[in-house]
Amino acid sequence: MSSSATSQIEEHISFLAPPTYQKPNTTAFTLDQRRRAALEEIDNAHFSWFHVKVCLVAGIGFFTDAYDIFAINIATPMLGYVFGHASRNGLTALSNNQELGIKIAAPVGNLFGQVLFGWLADVVGRKRMYGVELAIIITGSFAQALSNNGEAVSIVAALVVWRFIMGVGIGGDCPLSAVMTSEFASTRIRGRLMTTVFSSQGWGNFTACLVAYIIVLGYKSSILSGSDAGRTEHVDAMWRLLIGLGCVPGAIALYFRLTIPETPRFTMDIERNVEQASLDVNTILTSGDFNVDPDAVYQRAMAPKASRRDFIKHFRQWKNLKVLIGTSWSWFAIDIAFYGLGLNSSVILDVIGFGSKNGDIFQNLRNICIGNLILSIAGLIPGYYATFLLIDSWGRRPIQLTGFGVLTVVFMIMGFGFKALTKTSSTPFVVLFCIANFFMNFGPNTTTFIVPGEVYPTRYRSSAHGVSAACGKLGAIAAQALFSKLAEDRSSPNPLEQSPFLEQSPFLKHTFEIYALFMITGVLSTLLLTETKGKSLEELSNEDQEGFITGVAGFPMGVVGINGGSVGGINTLTPMRREL
C-alpha cells in the first residue's frame, strides 16, 4: 500500500476518533477576555470624528422630531383661520376637541413607537431599525402638508391619523438614538454626548418658531391687502409650508442613519459574535469605517440571552426593578409638567402681552411666533447647555434631584401665589415661567433621556429605555387630555374668551399646584436611581462581567477538534458552521 493511501486512511480514522478535551472553561475564558478587552477599548477611547458623526446623525433626528412636534402649536391657529368654525379673539378657530385631537395624536403615536422600536432594536439590531423610524417621520410630515377636507374625511381627522403615524416614528427615534449614542461613547464623555444629542430638541423647537416667523413675514403683504378669501388661501399655504419643511432635515439625515455601523455591544452580547465586534472596535474608532462580510463564518458565544424567563429573572430582583421604576416614573412626572405647560402656551403669551385682540390675523400670528421664540430662548436652550457643562462632573442624579426640587418650589409659588403674581404686573410670573423652563432642561427633562440609556443590560437596554419613555408620553397624554379640560373656565359662557387671570380662570392656579405635586414624586423616584457618571455600561447593568461568556453555542465546554484545534475556540482548524 502506498504512503499516500495510508495517510488518507489515517486521516479518515482520525476524523472518526472521539474528540480530546482541554482544561474546563479555556475557550470561554479566551472569548470572555476578548470581549472585555473590546469593551475597555470603547470605554477608554479618545474623542474622535466618529463620536462627532454619531452626535450629528442622532441629533438631526431629534431636531426633526422637535420641529414636527412643536410646529403644530403655531400651525394650529393657522388651521383654525382656514377650517375652524369656533371663535377666539374675533378670529375663527378650531374647537377645543379638534385642537386636542391634533395635539394629542403625536404623543399617542410616540407611546406605541417607543415600545415597538425599543423592542425591535433589541431583537433585530440598532442598525437595522435606525433610519426606518426617520422614514416614517418624513412620510407622516409630508402627508400632513398634503391633507385636505373631503366628503368622507375632514382635515382634522386626516391630520390626526398622519400625526399619529408620524408620532410612531418620533417615538421610535427616542430609544434608538439614546442607545446608539451611549453604546458608542467612551465612559468619561458619555453624558455630554447624550446631552448634545438631546439638546437638538431645543433647537428644533426654536427653528420651528423661527421658520414660522419668517413665513408669516413673507406673507405679510398678501394677508394685509387681500380679501377674506385671499387671506384664507394664503394662510392655508403657510401652515402647509411650515409642516412640510419638517421633512428637509430628516431627508438629509436618512442616508447617514441607514449607513451607520452596528454597535459592537449589540454584536457581542446579542448576536454573540465576539470576533466581528473586536474587528469593528478597531476599525470604527480609528477610521470610522466598518466592514462586515455577509458570507463570513462565525461562532456564537454562549452568553445571557433575552427571553421572557430571563427578563423576569433579571427584573424581579429589587436592585434592577427599582431602576426601571425610577426611570419610568421620573419620566412620567416631568412630562406631566413639560407637556402640560405646552397646553397653556396661549395663556402665557397673553400674560406677557402677546396675542391680538382686534381680529388682526397677521398681528396675531406674528405675536404667537415671537412669544414662542422668547420662551424658547429664555429657558429651554440655556438649560440644555448647563446640563452639558456639569453632567459628567456633577452627575446625573444630583442634576435630576435639583431640577425636581427647584421645579417643586417654582410651581408652588406660581400656583399658591398666582393672584399676587398677576395682580399688578406680569413680569414676576414670566420670570418664574422661564426659570421653570430652565430647570426642566437643566434637570429631569434631559436626565430622564440619558439615564435609561445607561443602566440596563445590552439585551434589554433599548426595550427598557422605550418603556421608560412610553411612561413619559403617558404623562404627556394625561396632561393634554385631562388638564386642558380642568383649566377651562366652567363659569364663562364662552371658555375660548377666558382671561389668564385667576378671577376668570379659577382652575389655572391649581394646575401649577398639581405640577408641584408630581415634581415631589419625581424627587422620590430619583432616589431609586444610582449615579451613573464615570461607570461603564456593563458595570451599571448589575451583572457580573467575569465569566459573562461561558462557551460556544452548540458545542460542549472545552471540546478540542482534529489535530488539537479547539472546536469551540477562535482558532479552530476545522470548518465552522455558518450562522445565518
478-531 residue pLDDT tens: 888 776 666 554 444 444 444 444 444 566 778 889 999 999 999 999 999 999
Query: pLDDT grade, residue 356 (50/70/90)?
Result: low
Q: Give the range among 159-173, 335-349, 429-443, 506-520 with minimum mean pLDDT.
A: 335-349
CA-wise closest residue to 184 among 422, 461, 391: 461
Q: Give the chain's domains with CATH numbers.
A: 35-288+304-489+501-536 (1.20.1250.20)
Give the global pTM: 0.87
Neighbouring C-alpha atoms within 13 Å toward the C-beta of 114: 24
Model confidence pLDDT, tens digit, residues 358-411: 667 888 888 888 888 888 888 789 999 999 999 999 999 999 999 999 999 999
Neighbouring C-alpha atoms within 13 Å toward the C-beta of 249: 21
Of residues 3 and 572, more confidently modeled: 3
Q: How far apart are CA 138 and CA 445, in angstroms?
A: 25
The pLDDT score that the predictor gives to residue 518 is: 96
Q: How far apart are CA 91 and CA 77, in angstroms?
A: 9
Q: In Å, how far from its chain's centre is CA 479?
A: 19
Q: How far apart are CA 263 and CA 281, in angstroms?
A: 9
End-to-end CA separation in angstroms for the chain: 44
The pLDDT score that the predictor gives to residue 346 is: 61
CA pseudo-torsion sign 357, 202, 80, 238: positive
Question: Distances in Å between the alpha carbon of 382 and those of 199, 331, 378, 475?
Answer: 10, 20, 7, 24
The pLDDT score that the predictor gives to residue 493 is: 44
Helix (H) or strand (E) holding 86: strand 86-88
Q: Which residues contact 286 (CB under 8 A, 6 or more apart)?
A: none
The pLDDT score that the predictor gives to residue 301 is: 83
Instruction: Tell me which residue has cell 427584573.
Output: 315
